[in-house]
Amino acid sequence: MAIPERIIEIVDLRLLIPSTIDEQERRRVRRQQNMEENLSEECVASFARIGVACSQEIANERMSIKDVISELHAIKQAMLLITSIVNCDDNSQQQHTFS
């Protein structure tokens, strides 16, 4: 039967948070996941806005390169924040596991 082997494809992975952690920890993990998803979506949307702004048909309506660079730096900082949150969480989970 394929259902047990493929259950991971249909189950919400948030349900797989170990039951040994308390409810407060579950809420923290959910908040963090939501924050990471929101930041990632905002970064992708920012890239799209920059692309559209840079491809305006009339040259003086295009985004200035100075503004593009500023926006790209802001996106980079947001992505670094996401990475550091994920890495920090991974490290704390490893410490929690080995403690």
Q: Which pLDDT does position 22 carry in this prediction?
A: 73
CA distances from 60 to 5, 51, 57 (A): 57, 15, 9
Residues belonging to the chain: 99
The answer, yes or no, to whether residue 1 has pLDDT greater than 50, is no
For 66-81, write each residue's pLDDT tens digit: 999 999 999 888 888 8
pTM of the model: 0.55
Instruction: State the Cα–Cα distance between residues 35 and 4, nearest whole angstrom.
Output: 31
Instruction: State the Cα–Cα distance between residues 26 and 32, nearest whole angstrom.
Output: 10
Q: Can you state the angle between helices 23-54 and 65-98, rounded to 10 degrees? A: 160
- CA 4 from chain centre, in angstroms, equals 29
